[in-house]
Amino acid sequence: MEQVVVITEAAALHIKEMMKQNEEEDAFLRVAVKGGGCSGLSYGMGFAHEVEENDIQAEHHGIQVLVSKEDAPILKGTKIDYKESMMGGGFTIDNPNAIASCGCGSSFRTATNTGTPEEC
């Protein structure tokens, strides 16, 4: 099965550190899409402890990643990276399906899903 979301080694190292700090070493990383943000959709990442019936599961650099089958078409080909800069570090999300995004980089829309835009 083709990977829905790709997590780079840099992002995986940071996620593992977050898991350790939060005592979530056994957790899955759930990547999701929800309505909202100035462009209509926004990304969500969090720890999960169970695989749901409609989840697609993959492993990247030792991290078990879950994406629901409902979110998979919106996230297909998305790359999650972690970059350090003089302003600090943060996750970057590169979604080839996004046709519009806002300045914050966490809100977007696709050609087939506009979500529910909100004020920034």
**pLDDT above 80 (res 81):** yes
Q: According to the model, what pLDDT value does residue 41 have?
A: 78
% of residues, the chain, pLDDT over 70? 77
At residue 19's C-alpha, the angle toward residues 92 and 95, to 5°, is 20
Give CA–CA dist 120/118, Å, rounded: 6
**pLDDT above 80 (res 40):** no
Q: How many CB atoms lie within 10 A of CB 74?
A: 22
**pLDDT above 80 (res 49):** yes
The pTM for the full model equals 0.79
Backbone CA torsion sign across 81, 57, 108, 74: positive
Residues near 18 by beta carbon (within 8 Å), at least 6 away in sequence: 24
> Hey, what domains does the chain have and what are their CATH numbers?
5-94 (2.60.300.12)
Lowest mean pLDDT among 58-72, 75-89, 100-114: 100-114
Give CA–CA dist 52/15, Å, rounded: 21
The whole-number average pLDDT for the span 53-70 is 95
The whole-number average pLDDT for the span 93-102 is 78
